[in-house]
Amino acid sequence: MHRDELEGSWQEDAPPPIPSGAERAELQGPSTGAGPLFHRRYRTRIRAARLGPDELFDLVAADPDRVAPSEFATFQKLRGEEGVMRVDDEFVVRMPGPWDGPVRVVDVRPAAFRLATLEGHLEAGQIEFRASHEDGLVAFAIESWARSADRLSDLLYDRLRMSKEIQLHMWTSTLERVVQLSGGRMTGGIEIHTRKVHAGDIEG
């Protein structure tokens, strides 16, 4: 793993806007949260994959639980047709302990989908999964823009760093499973790039 953490800014690291066609009820955005916002990207590249980015991504979108590390989390669909990913579908990400996180699909486009947290989630923000071609390889990235939902969650995440490390291992394990699903092999390890936006700089 290759990790770094830098100072960020709201102008560069704010989450993307929620598309106009997505349902907004019960969304939990950064303005409702506590503590700093973390813009994180987990990324790997795959050599000799048997599946191209579109094929690989379609399998992940059809069933995100296929690549979820069961020791950390499972995806359970609560709303929407099984086997497809559509805007306004809803999932709950079940984790050990009091970590279950409800999310809604707010954007679906070729080889990418984005989820937003709902009321009751420990985070307030969004996370995107996407695949692409890169220099003859398949690249897969998980990118999030989120802050803690409340002060207790902020303590566990930013101060004690407990849930921050759990999250890191969950998403790096997910990328390892994506590589296995592709039939290829990981090249260059996993990059974890973090930018931290202080609470006072977050805009509503």
Q: pLDDT per position in the chain (204 positions), as tens?
A: 799 999 999 999 999 999 999 999 999 999 999 999 999 999 999 999 999 999 999 999 999 999 999 887 899 999 999 999 999 999 999 876 656 789 999 999 999 999 999 998 889 999 999 999 999 999 999 999 999 888 877 676 655 555 667 788 889 999 999 999 999 999 999 999 999 999 999 986
Extract the tokens encoding 155. 């303590």
Extract the tokens encoding 65. 């639980």
Q: Could you tell me the sign of the dihedral formed by the alpha carbons of 118, 112, 15, 160, in that order?
A: positive
Whether 171 and 1 have beta carbons less than 8 Å apart is answered as: no
The answer as to whether 20 is a domain residue is no
The answer as to whether 12 is a domain residue is no
Can you give the pLDDT at residue 151?
80
Can you give the pLDDT at residue 167?
80
The answer as to whether 19 is a domain residue is no
Can you give the pLDDT at residue 22?
98
Instruction: Identify the H or E element spanning 174.
Output: helix 162-182
Q: Whole domain around residue 150: which residue ranges?
A: 2-7+25-201
pTM score: 0.92
Please state, in angstroms and rounded to a whole number, the distance separating the CA atoms of residues 139 and 39.
19
Query: Structural domain tally of the chain?
Result: 1
The DSSP output letter for 4 is E
Work out the number of other CB atoms within 10 angstroms of the CB of residue 52. Answer: 14
Please state, in angstroms and rounded to a whole number, the distance separating the CA atoms of residues 7 and 121.
25
Whether 126 and 118 have beta carbons less than 8 Å apart is answered as: no
Can you give the pLDDT at residue 70?
85
Please state, in angstroms and rounded to a whole number, the distance separating the CA atoms of residues 50 and 100.
34
Can you give the pLDDT at residue 111?
95
The answer as to whether 73 is a domain residue is yes
- Tell me how far CA of residue 11 lies from CA of 128, 173, 192, 193, in angstroms: 19, 30, 21, 17
The answer as to whether 15 is a domain residue is no
The answer as to whether 48 is a domain residue is yes
The answer as to whether 163 is a domain residue is yes
Whether 193 and 4 have beta carbons less than 8 Å apart is answered as: yes
Please state, in angstroms and rounded to a whole number, the distance separating the CA atoms of residues 167 and 144.
11
Can you give the pLDDT at residue 149?
84
- Residue 173: give its domain's CATH number: 3.30.530.20
The answer as to whether 17 is a domain residue is no
